[in-house]
Chains A and B, each alone.
Chain A
Amino acid sequence: MKNLDSVFAAYLIGWGVFFVFYLTIAKRTSDLRAEIDRLKSSLPRPK
């Protein structure tokens, strides 16, 4: 099983990069959703 550690490293680092990228999108989306709710509540409601 020569190079098994390298193969696992390649797959784990690759998946890690995708996972971290997705987490940053989810975090930014959640922050923006909160900001949208705050702005909407601060604006007067249309009659």
Chain B
Amino acid sequence: MAKRILLAAVAILLVIAAAYAAFFIAPEESTMHLIQRIFYFHVGSAWAGMDAFFVCFVANLLYVWKRQPRYDWLAVSAAEVGLVLTTVVLVTGPIWAHPVWGIWWTWDARLTSTFVLWLLYVSYLLLRTLVEEQDRRALLSSLFGIFAFLDVPLVFGAIRWWRTQHPSPVILGGEGSGLEPTMKKVLFFSVFAMHVLAAFLIVERYILEKMKNEVDVLQREAEAE
């Protein structure tokens, strides 16, 4: 319990510090000015969301291989947290886009693949509510989760492989890409803060899933009495 409280405190402090750095330490971008400061929160959430989906993908593979329920608990926890982070990405993106592009949304490759990713993980969670039997639910959702993750490389590559309305990559973007050094530090700090927040939420959600399993076991025992 003490470790969970400590992790919560660290996550909250880091997220506050990341916002402070985004507003007061990062220099103002010369063309977009203030609105560009959404970038640190938006990219941090996106990066942590993709990594949460990667955790879900690995846990799905491990479940299919070893059939241990703890991998299913981890997968659903990471999927839910990834979905929440992607929701933040899909909300903060249009708030930034409207003053910069003059439109809230466009169906370019990056935005569309991100929206499809969001829909895939909503489907993953819906699928779990439709199958009653525990082992069958875990296996079916693991297989679907492995399939859903195939969209993550598409989201990553969309701004590298195709011309998009979405800005070009500033990290791993090849020649001509990059960020001003202070902006880069603030971005990496924001990414780190969002990862700690994601880790905290996954741990909390995992404990919930473990307790659900405990309730199932106790209910079966009570029925057998």
Bound CA span A44–B219, Å: 13
Contact A7 B19 (CB under 8 A): no
Task: Report the interface size class on chain B.
Answer: 35 or more
Contact B35 A7 (CB under 8 A): yes
Nearest residue in A to B210 (C-beta to C-beta)? A32
Given contacts A4-B34, A43-B218, contact A10 B92 (CB under 8 A): yes
Contact B222 A3 (CB under 8 A): no
Specify which of A2, A14, A40 lies most central, judged by the most chain B CB atoms within 10 Å of its CB: A14
Q: Which residues of B contact A40 (CB under 8 A)?
A: 218
Contact A17 B208 (CB under 8 A): no
Given contacts A3-B35, A29-B211, contact A43 B222 (CB under 8 A): yes
Bound CA span A36–B80, Å: 23
Contact A10 B222 (CB under 8 A): no
Bound CA span A7–B41, Å: 10
Number of interface residues of A (CB under 8 A): 29
Q: How many Å from the CB of B116 to the closest CB on chain A?
A: 20
Given contacts A10-B95, A13-B92, A29-B207, contact A43 B225 (CB under 8 A): yes
Q: Does B135 contact A (CB under 8 A)?
A: no
Q: Does B76 contact A (CB under 8 A)?
A: no
Q: Does B98 contact A (CB under 8 A)?
A: yes
Contact B96 A32 (CB under 8 A): no
Q: How many Å from the CB of B97 to the closest CB on chain A?
A: 10
Binding-face segment, B52-60, B83-91, B106-114, B156-164:
B83-91
Bound CA span A15–B209, Å: 24
Q: Which of A1-47 contact B (CB under 8 A)?
A: 1-4, 6-7, 9-11, 13-15, 17-18, 21-22, 25-26, 28-29, 32-33, 35-36, 39-40, 42-44
Contact B197 A18 (CB under 8 A): yes
Contact A39 B201 (CB under 8 A): no
Nearest residue in A to B99 (C-beta to C-beta)? A3
Q: Which 9 residue pairs of A and B lie closest in terms of their CB atoms, listed nearest first? A: A39-B218, A3-B35, A32-B211, A10-B95, A10-B92, A14-B88, A10-B38, A21-B84, A25-B204
